[in-house]
Structure 1
C-alpha cells in the first residue's frame, strides 16, 4: 500500500507539473495536420519577413504584460488559505479558553459552530455553497458573541473574536472577487486573436526545408498556447470546482489541516 501511495503521489505531481502541456497536445496535432495539408496542396503562399517577426514580438510583449498583472493577485492569493486557517484557529482558541475558564455553554456551542463552519467553508471553495450563504454563517457568529457578552465575558475576548470575524469576512470577499473577476478580458481577446493569426501565418508561410518549418510552427504554437493557458489558470487560482486542487490552483492544505485538527478535538 505504501508503494502504491508513493507511485500515485508521484503521478499526481507529474500531472500537476505537465497538465497544461498535455492539454495543448490536441492543438499541436491539429496545427501539424494543417501544416502538412498546406505543404501537400502547395498553399504556402507567404514568405518569412520582418513584419511577421514583429507580430511575434508584439505577442510576447502582451504575454509579459498579462502575466505580470495576474502574478500580483496570485502571490496575494497564496497567503489567503493559511491566513483564513489562522483566524479560524484563533477563534477556536478564544472560545475554548472561555469555555474552560468560565464553563460557558455558549462558548461550547460556539466551538461546535466553528467545526461545522470549516466544512461549509470547504464546500464554498468548491462552489457547493454560495458566497451569500457563507457570509450569512459568518454573521451568525454575532449571536454567540451577544450571548457571551450577556454572560459577562471580558470585553478583550469579545473584541478579539469580532476582529477575527471581520478578518474572515474580508478574506472570503477577497477570494470571491479574485475567482469571479477576469484580468482585462479585452487583453485576453487580442491575445487569442494574435495567437490565431500567428498559427495561421506559420501554416501558410513557406520555409525550406519542410521539417524545419514544421518544427518552428509547432514550437511557436506550443509556447503561445502554453503561456495563454498558464495566464488563464493563474488568473483564477481558486477554481477548485473545475480543476480540483491541482495544477496552478492554490493549495488548501491549511484548511484541510484545520479540519483534521477539529475532528480530533
Structure 2
C-alpha cells in the first residue's frame, strides 16, 4: 500500500484517540448537557456545506495545477520535435545543443520543485534556449523557429504559474472559517449526550475523524507542489523526468 494514500488518516487517528479520551472523561463527569436537536443539526449541516464548498474549489485549482507539469513537458517535446525535423532535413545541423538546453530546462524545474533549488535557475535555462534557436535559423524557415519561441513563452508562463501556486495560500481566509466550524462541531460532539454511550462515542469519533480529515485534505490540496515528504497529494512530475531520461539516452 502507498503510505502517501494513508498519511492524512494516520495523522488524524491520534487526534481521534485524544478526542475519544476527552469524550469518555466528560461522560464520567456527567458533563454532557446537550441533546441532539435542530440547532446542533444546523451546525453540522453548515459545517458540512462550508467544507464541501471549499473542497470543491480547491479540487478545481488542484486539477488545473496538476496539469501544468504535463503542459510543460509537452512544450519541451514540441521544441524537440522541431529540432529533430531540422536535423533530418539538414545533415550539417547538430541537434545536440538544443536537446541539451531542453534537458537543462526540465532538470532545473525538477531541481527547483523537488530539491528546493532557486527558481532563477529555470529562467537562466530558458534564456540559454535563445542561443540554440538562433543556431537553428540558417537551416530552417522562420515559422519553425517562431513556433519554438511560442512554446518557450508558454513554458515561461507555466513556470510562473507553478511558482505562484506553490508560494500562495489561495484559501487562507477560508481556513479561519473552517477552523471555527471545526471547533464548534468538536465542542458540540463532546457535549452531546445519548442513551447509549457506546453508540454516541463511535458516531462522534467518526464525525470528528471525518471533519478533521477533510480540513487537512483541503490544506494538502491547496499546495500541489510541496514534495516535502509530508503531503499526500502532489502534482505528478514523472513526465518531466521521463523526458530528461529519454533525451539523455539519445
User: What is the TM-score normalised by the length of structure 2?
Assistant: 0.90
Q: Unaligned 5+ residue runs, structure 1?
A: 1-10
Q: Does 1:228 align with 2:215?
A: yes
Distance 1:70 1:136 in 2: 32
Distance 1:145 1:182 in 2: 37
What is the CA deviation profile of residues 79-114 of structure 1, one whole-angstrom value per residue up to 9, with x for unaligned ones?
222221111122222223334525235x43222222
Q: Does 1:27 align with 2:33?
A: no
C-alpha root-mean-square deviation of aligned residues, in Å? 2.0
Q: Unaligned 5+ residue runs, structure 2?
A: none
Which piece of structure 1 moves more, 89-98 or 197-206?
89-98
Structure 2 counterparts to residues 12-161 of structure 1, below 5 A? 12=2, 15-100=3-88, 101-105=90-94, 107-149=95-137, 151=138, 153-161=140-148
Q: Partner residue of 1:7?
A: none
Q: Does 1:200 align with 2:192?
A: no
Contact 1:73–1:178, Cα closer than 8 Å, also in 2: no
Q: Does 1:176 align with 2:131?
A: no
Number of equivalenced pairs: 249
Which piece of structure 1 moves more, 140-149 or 251-260?
140-149
What is the CA deviation profile of residues 186-218 of structure 1, one whole-angstrom value per residue up to 9, with x for unaligned ones?
211111111022112211222222112211210
Shift of 1:152: 5.8
Residue 67 of structure 2 aligns to a residue whose secondary structure is: helix
2:238 to 253, 256, 260: 253
1:167 to 148, 154, 161: 154
Distance 1:198 1:37 in 2: 18
Shift of 1:155: 0.7
Distance 2:31 2:73 in 1: 59
Shift of 1:143: 2.6
Distance 2:81 2:233 in 1: 32
Residue 130 of structure 1 aligns to a residue whose secondary structure is: coil
Which piece of structure 1 moves more, 35-44 or 124-133?
124-133
Distance 2:171 2:7 in 1: 25
Which piece of structure 1 moves more, 152-161 or 81-90?
152-161
Distance 1:263 1:208 in 2: 69
Contact 2:126–2:152, Cα closer than 8 Å, also in 1: yes
